[in-house]
Amino acid sequence: MPNKIRTYVALSLTAALLATACSGGEEQENQSVESDDTLNIAFFADMATADPDIFYDIEGLAVMQSVYEGLLRYAPGGTEIEGELAESWEVSEDGLTFTFTLKDDLTYADGTPLDSEAIQASFERRTAVEQGPSYMLAGVDSYETPDPQTFVVNLKDPDVAFLHYLASAWSPKAINPTVLEENSADLAQKYLDTQSAGSGPYVIDEFTRGTGYTLTRNDNYWGEEPHFSTVEVAITPDVSSQILALERGDLELIPHGFPLANLPNVESNDDLALEQFPSLGTTSLYLNHNKESLADAGTREALIRALDITSLVEEVYGETAEVPSNAYPAGLLDPSLAPVDYAPGDSSDLSGQGITLDIVYTPDSSGVQRRLADLMRQRLAAVGVDATPRQAQLAEVFGYRDDVANAADIYVSTPAPDGAHPDTWGRIVWYTVGPLNFFNYSNPEVDAALDRGLVEVDPEAAAEDYAEAGELATADWSVVPIAYVSDVVVAQADLNGVEHVPAYPWTVDLAALSR
């Protein structure tokens, strides 16, 4: 090839590459103002599935809440239950029969009427699919549908938490019976893995694992039309990338995982707004009483008091958390019942015991649990206790129950109950076979109090039972709640209607947002 031609070719290629980059710049500018009608948010990780009877995660709740609806929900900002698909409901005096009256003119996204039979089919599917959230309906004896707007649930035994399960973020959702019938061979599991069949304000238009999801407005929605016609969810695992995208205006909000150290930058940025909402997330210290060094409740108490919980929480969380008032997550039980007291005490006995501990925490994008474990190490060192923080994956922690003798000494975790009822907490963290009872804590009196509370239809008497369970568990110093953690949402300043429910972690109501 002659030299001149080679030079021209090289110049042309260079020019084309430069043009690619520069034209992209203009295009990118255009994308930022592309459409006032599109809401851009990001998830740190993929949703495992979009099937409402299998989905049992936190990341992705905003999508599930936008495309599916249940009978009940919690009102924004609190723990009061209100109707979602149900207009009203009644509970029989014996606490066994729940009668729901559906709202008028309910429809699914494809226009199929949403009636009591459709609700029954959805509830039955949850039990048949038999995945994580199926436990919520384990106590159901039978269903009745006396007319299209009346749905009756009969329980085998009273369950005072049942309404809260129906208001939970992972509650049984109404699934389009047409889809269930057309895909009955596998209970529509393949279909619902990546597609929606709900009655919510949005439908899943596109579900691409690893890339993101597109939600579009449900044109047949029976309720108020959402402001944004499209919601684009991008999978962006790196929090730094999310922050840069937010600051550039390519993201509307970061609903969780914002590093606390970066919050001052948000407060000084006029284009961004910081909102803090109470949640049921409660940072707790699990102390492995099966280990010799932690077998004595007095030693466990001395360790907790040596940490100076109040200043520890303030140092780690700043204003985004507070020290618990009682043994339950915020708002589950009257704060005056089952109170906790973590006042620093005499820890001099600890120094001579040669205690060595490993403190395990699970990773979180904000890094707050690592910081907490590090500070605990420092404070314990000051009283002669040699502690070593270590990060572990969730699967390791779930294996502790099978081998408590070789499990960690202390586990730092921030669990949140499925509903805003004390039973949803006590039964998972204190009950002898509770799923979040990592070190097999067992106190028969606690179990008995929880069991009494569950079937006690008188609310005041039930509260006393739960208070007793909380007091007994607190006195054992095995599971120690140390912080009521807020959900911190960072959003564009012009984004309005950021609504949050304490029992729906890391989630804002996408349909309520506007600009």
Among the residue ranges 65-73, 76-84, 231-239, 496-504, the one whose residues contact another protein (CB under 8 A): 231-239
Integer Rg of the chain from CA: 26
Binding pattern for the stretch 176-215 against another protein, x by CB under 8 A and - elsewhere: -----------------x--------------xxxxx---
Residue 72: CA atoms inside 13 Å, Cβ hemisphere, count?
25
- The answer to whether 244 contacts another protein (rule: CB under 8 A) is yes
- The answer to whether 428 contacts another protein (rule: CB under 8 A) is yes
Contact between 430 and 414 under an 8 Å Cβ cutoff? The reply is no
- The answer to whether 49 contacts another protein (rule: CB under 8 A) is yes
**Which CB atom, from 47 or from 285, has the smaller least distance to another protein?**
47
DSSP strand pairing (479-485 vs 282-287): antiparallel
Interface residue with another protein among 105, 224, 403, 460 (CB under 8 A) is: 403
Amino acid (one-letter) located at 130: E
Contact between 38 and 228 under an 8 Å Cβ cutoff? The reply is yes
- The answer to whether 448 contacts another protein (rule: CB under 8 A) is no
- The answer to whether 111 contacts another protein (rule: CB under 8 A) is no
User: 78 exposed, middle or buried (CB, 10 Å; 0-12, 13-18, 19+)?
Assistant: middle
Question: What distance in Å separates the CA atoms of residue 117 and residue 114, rounded to the nearest whole number?
Answer: 8
- The answer to whether 23 contacts another protein (rule: CB under 8 A) is yes
Interface residue with another protein among 184, 241, 378, 514 (CB under 8 A) is: 241
CB of 132 to another protein, least distance (A): 3
DSSP strand pairing (150-155 vs 140-147): antiparallel
Question: What distance in Å separates the CA atoms of residue 153 and residue 126, rounded to the nearest whole number?
Answer: 14
Interface residue with another protein among 15, 261, 382, 394 (CB under 8 A) is: 394
Over the range 430-453, which residues count as b (16 or more CB within 10 Å of their CB) and which as e? bbeebebbbbbbbbeebbebbebb
Contact between 222 and 105 under an 8 Å Cβ cutoff? The reply is yes
Count of C-beta atoms within a 10 Å radius of residue 109: 22
Interface residue with another protein among 22, 75, 128, 461 (CB under 8 A) is: 22
Interface residue with another protein among 396, 451, 464, 499 (CB under 8 A) is: 396
- The answer to whether 10 contacts another protein (rule: CB under 8 A) is no
Cα angle 187, 99, 500 (rounded to 5 degrees) comes to 75
Question: What distance in Å separates the CA atoms of residue 104 and residue 82, rounded to the nearest whole number?
Answer: 16
**Total chain residues near another protein (CB under 8 A):** 59
CA 459 to the chain's CA centroid: 26
Among the residue ranges 54-62, 153-161, 346-354, 449-457, the one whose residues contact another protein (CB under 8 A): 54-62
Q: Which residue has the tokens 């948010």?
A: 41
Helix (H) or strand (E) holding 412: strand 410-413
Among the residue ranges 84-92, 125-133, 261-269, 292-300, the one whose residues contact another protein (CB under 8 A): 125-133
- The answer to whether 27 contacts another protein (rule: CB under 8 A) is yes
- The answer to whether 156 contacts another protein (rule: CB under 8 A) is no
Contact between 177 and 86 under an 8 Å Cβ cutoff? The reply is no
- The answer to whether 130 contacts another protein (rule: CB under 8 A) is yes
CB of 16 to another protein, least distance (A): 9
- The answer to whether 252 contacts another protein (rule: CB under 8 A) is no
**Which CB atom, from 46 or from 468, has the smaller least distance to another protein?**
46
| Phi, psi of 284, deg, nearest 5 | -135, 150
The residues in 299-358 that bind another protein, with binding defined as CB under 8 A, are: none
Interface residue with another protein among 41, 54, 273, 472 (CB under 8 A) is: 54
CB of 266 to another protein, least distance (A): 16
**β-bridge mates for residue 329, sequence order:** none
Interface residue with another protein among 7, 184, 240, 356 (CB under 8 A) is: 240
Over the range 319-337, which residues count as b (16 or more CB within 10 Å of their CB) and which as e? ebbbbbbbbbbbbbbbeeb
Interface residue with another protein among 89, 121, 149, 250 (CB under 8 A) is: 250
- The answer to whether 117 contacts another protein (rule: CB under 8 A) is no
- The answer to whether 426 contacts another protein (rule: CB under 8 A) is no
- The answer to whether 234 contacts another protein (rule: CB under 8 A) is yes
CB of 246 to another protein, least distance (A): 11
Q: What string of DSSP letters covers 307-354?
A: T-HHHHHHHHHGGGEE--SBSSSTTSS-TTSSB--------HHHHTTT
- The answer to whether 436 contacts another protein (rule: CB under 8 A) is yes
Among the residue ranges 266-274, 290-298, 427-435, 491-499, the one whose residues contact another protein (CB under 8 A): 427-435
Find, among 475, 394, 479, the residue nearest to 431 by Cα.
479
- The answer to whether 435 contacts another protein (rule: CB under 8 A) is yes
Question: What distance in Å separates the CA atoms of residue 68 and residue 34, rounded to the nearest whole number?
Answer: 28
Contact between 324 and 304 under an 8 Å Cβ cutoff? The reply is no
CB of 244 to another protein, least distance (A): 5
DSSP helix/strand/coil, 156: coil
| Six-digit token string for 428 | 């998972």
- The answer to whether 235 contacts another protein (rule: CB under 8 A) is yes
**Which CB atom, from 390 or from 461, has the smaller least distance to another protein?**
390
Among the residue ranges 150-158, 221-229, 246-254, 491-499, the one whose residues contact another protein (CB under 8 A): 246-254
Interface residue with another protein among 238, 267, 296, 494 (CB under 8 A) is: 238
Q: Which residues bind another protein (CB under 8 A)?
A: 20-25, 27-29, 31, 45-46, 48-49, 54, 56-57, 130-135, 138, 193, 208-212, 234-238, 240-241, 244-245, 247-248, 250, 363, 393-399, 401-403, 415, 418, 428, 433, 435-436
